[in-house]
Amino acid sequence: MPSSAPSGLTATIFLVTLVPAILLVGIGFLAFRTGKSLPHAKGALQAAASAALLLAGMLTALALLEGAFRLLVPGGYFHFRPVEGNSQEALVEQLPDGQAWWEYRDARGFDSQGIRSGLPRSDKADLRLVVLGDSVAYGTKVEVEQSFPWHLGRRLQERCGTIDMVNLAVPGYSSLQERLSLERKGLAAKPDIVLVGIFSNDMARYTVVGSTALDIRLKDRDDVPAFSLLPLPDGMNRFLVTQSVFYQFITLKALAASDQATGDDVGQLEASVRELEKILELTTTSGARLVLVLLPMLDRPWSAGEDESTAHFYDRLRSWASTRPATLVDLRPLLADHTVEALRIDECCHLNPLGHEVVAELLFGQLADAGLLDRCRKPRAEGGR
């Protein structure tokens, strides 16, 4: 989702609606009174008074709508930055198709090769695992030693002995960036398992503005959506989108309607699936097994089900994986023994330390049940350490 350009919405929008509305009421009243004393101009003045009062009513209605939306959605709709590829630490590469790939080296817990693991690497490992994903698999807002890939690596060490785990998850990554990371870094690790953490915004596409990777819908470093609902000058659109929660709402609705009308929503979904198909081909060609992990939204109780866009995306992936040589792990039903509140660190999708531990344990069990750990050395006997 686009991020908020303003640092907190102000009352500016009310000043540009209510103040003119009051002035228009005054003008309308004055025109009406003047018309009584000027019979020859009465018709024109009454028409002007009616127009002024009508416009004042419209501005007042907009102000009331704005107030209602601010009460319902404090802070507005644009809360989150679209990617973390907009920091100075990110090494951004413009791709031939206009999209972007980026990585971090020696920053944010990544080593000089852009790998975030926290576990020692090994050339003689009993099991090799590559992790792809975005901010959830990366472990946003927790230490690397609290992330589920790290916990999973420790469990695999207990089960398999020496392992080599390469975590290539980067905040903001979509399926495209994940595929490129597998090609450029992951395959060199000669993995036995390629685990892809999938979130519903993996359909997103990114472009480069300056040296920054931004959501393709965003116009500049201020994160103002390039889509303009009304045929307004750019400055007016920018003002409304940054100051009005109501305008943010109708902009998002118009974006969704535009996607549906043009087929862009389907196009983005199928583009994401095509990237997963390429990841599967790369994985199987290298002799590894692909494991897809559907990461749930954490903004509602499990009983409420998935939101429409998430359900549509995941249903498509479930259908795709059912006919492919891949293991699909759907975390949502597996997490039903825990409340959403107990596992999340925010109301989007990010796990707290307990959530990461629970997910790691579930994934370990799923890998074992799928027979993917059979090649590992058997667990050591008690007291044999």
Q: Which pLDDT score is estimated for 165?
A: 94
In a domain, 247, yes or no: no
At residue 134, φ and ψ (nearest 5 deg) are -115, -140
Q: In whole angstroms, what is the distance from residue 166 CA to residue 228 CA?
A: 42
First-residue to last-residue Cα distance in the chain: 49
Q: Which residue has the tokens 């866009």?
A: 309
Query: Do 289 and 346 have their domain in common?
Result: yes
Query: Do 133 and 25 have their domain in common?
Result: no
Q: By the 8 A CB rule, do 350 and 133 touch?
A: no
Q: Which residue has the tokens 């959506």?
A: 225
Query: Do 96 and 57 have their domain in common?
Result: no
Query: Do 28 and 169 have their domain in common?
Result: no
CATH code, domain carrying 144: 3.40.50.1110
Q: Which pLDDT score is estimated for 358?
A: 98
Domain holding 178, by residue range, is 91-205+264-369
Query: Do 60 and 98 have their domain in common?
Result: no
Section 55-84 average pLDDT: 75
In a domain, 79, yes or no: no
Section 131-135 average pLDDT: 94
In a domain, 124, yes or no: yes
User: Looking at the predicted structure, is the pLDDT value of residue 6 above 60?
Assistant: no
In a domain, 4, yes or no: no
Query: Do 24 and 108 have their domain in common?
Result: no
Query: Do 353 and 302 have their domain in common?
Result: yes
Query: Do 21 and 124 have their domain in common?
Result: no
Query: Do 67 and 106 have their domain in common?
Result: no
Q: In whole angstroms, what is the distance from residue 167 CA to residue 372 CA?
A: 18
User: Looking at the predicted structure, is the pLDDT value of residue 361 above 50?
Assistant: yes
Encode pLDDT of 60-74 as tens digits.
888 888 888 888 887
User: Looking at the predicted structure, is the pLDDT value of residue 242 above 80?
Assistant: no
213, containing H or E segment: strand 212-215
Encode pLDDT of 195-225 as tens digits.
999 988 787 777 776 677 776 665 554 555 6
Q: In whole angstroms, what is the distance from residue 147 CA to residue 127 CA?
A: 19
Q: Which pLDDT score is estimated for 383?
A: 39
Query: Do 130 and 68 have their domain in common?
Result: no
Highest mean pLDDT: which range of 94-108, 254-268, 366-380: 94-108
Query: Do 192 and 324 have their domain in common?
Result: yes
In a domain, 280, yes or no: yes
In a domain, 77, yes or no: no
In a domain, 53, yes or no: yes
Quote the number of domains for the chain.
2
Beta-ladder partners of 293: 197, 329
Query: Do 300 and 159 have their domain in common?
Result: yes
Return the exposure string of 73-112: e unless at least 16 CB atoms fall within 10 Å of the residue's CB, then b: eeebbbebbbbbbbbeebebeeeeeebbbbbbeeebbbee
Predicted TM-score (pTM) of this structure: 0.74
Q: By the 8 A CB rule, do 162 and 126 touch?
A: yes
What's the whole-number average pLDDT of the chain?
A: 83
Closest CA to 355 of 77, 146, 104, 201: 146
In a domain, 320, yes or no: yes
Q: Categorise residue 18: left if φ over 0, alpha if ψ from -120 to 50, beta otherwise.
A: alpha
